[in-house]
Amino acid sequence: MFENVPRVDSLSYDAFISEYAVKGRPVIVTDLFAGEPIRELDTLESARAALGRTRVCVHNGYEHYFTLAMELLFGRPRPGSLLERRPSTVDEYLRGVERRPESREIASEVPEDMVPELCALYRVPPYCLNEAGERDDYVSELWLGNAGNHSHLHYDADQRHVLQYQIFGAKRAILIPPSEGTKLGPISNNCVVSPEGVPDADRDEFVRFTGGYQCMLRAGEALLIPALMWHYFEYVETSMALTMRFRRNRYARFFGDRLHFDYRLQAIAWRFLDERAITPELEGAFAEVEQAYWRPSVSPIEKGEELQQVFDRLYERLCAPASPGTYSRPFLEVVRRSVRHLETEGRKLYRSSTEEDAHRGGAATLRAGEALQSRSCESAVDARQEMR
User: Which residues lie near Fe ion (CB under 5 A)?
Assistant: 156, 375
Using the minimum distance from each CB to Fe ion, give the nearer residue, 150 or 341. Answer: 150
Give start and end residues of each alpha helix (H) in 200-279: 200-209, 250-258, 263-270
Q: State the minimum distance, in angstroms, from the CB of residue 231 to Fe ion.
A: 6
Q: State the minimum distance, in angstroms, from the CB of residue 6 to Fe ion.
A: 21
Using the minimum distance from each CB to Fe ion, give the nearer residue, 109 or 221. Answer: 109
Q: State the minimum distance, in angstroms, from the CB of residue 364 to Fe ion.
A: 26
Residue type, 93: Y
Q: What count of residues does the chain have?
A: 388
Using the minimum distance from each CB to Fe ion, give the nearer residue, 104 or 375. Answer: 375
Residue type, 220: G
Residue nearest to Fe ion (CB): 156
Q: ∠142-148-149 over CA atoms, to 5°?
A: 40
Q: State the minimum distance, in angstroms, from the CB of residue 166 to Fe ion.
A: 15
Query: Which of 76, 161, 167, 147 is CA-nearest to residue 106?
Result: 147
Gap between the terminal Cα atoms of the chain? 44
Q: Which helix (H) or strand (E) holds 53?
A: none
Using the minimum distance from each CB to Fe ion, give the nearer residue, 118 or 153. Answer: 153
Using the minimum distance from each CB to Fe ion, give the nearer residue, 21 or 307. Answer: 21
Q: State the minimum distance, in angstroms, from the CB of residue 233 to Fe ion.
A: 8
Give the orientation angle of helix 332-346 with respect to helix 300-318, to 10 degrees. 130
Using the minimum distance from each CB to Fe ion, give the nearer residue, 182 or 376. Answer: 376
The set of long-range contacts for 94-103, using a CB threshold of 8 Å and a minimum separation of 24, is 94/44, 94/48, 94/52, 94/144, 94/238, 96/58, 97/146, 97/238, 101/146, 101/147, 101/148, 102/148, 103/146
